[in-house]
Amino acid sequence: MAGFLSTLRRIYLSLYNWTVFVGWFQVLYFAVKALREGGPTTVYGFVERPLQLAQTAAVMEILHGLVVISFAVGLVRSPVSATLPQIGSRLFLTWGILWSFPETRAHILVSSLVISWSITEIIRYSFFRMKEAFGFAPSWFLWLRYSTFFILYPTGITSEVGLIYVALPYIKASEKYCIRMPNKWNFSFDYFSASILALAIYIPGIPHMYQYMLGQRRKALCKSKTA
* Residues classed as catalytic: 153, 160
- Residue 130 near residue 136 (C-beta atoms within 8 A): yes
Q: Which amino acid is at 168?
A: L
Buried b / exposed e along 110-135 (16+ C-beta atoms within 10 A): bbbbbbbbbbbbbbbbbbbebeeeee
> Read out DSSP for 141-208?
HHHHHTTTHHHHHHHHHHHHHHHHHHHHHHHHHH-TT-B-SS-TT---B-HHHHHHHHHHHHHHHHHH
DSSP letter at 73 equals: E
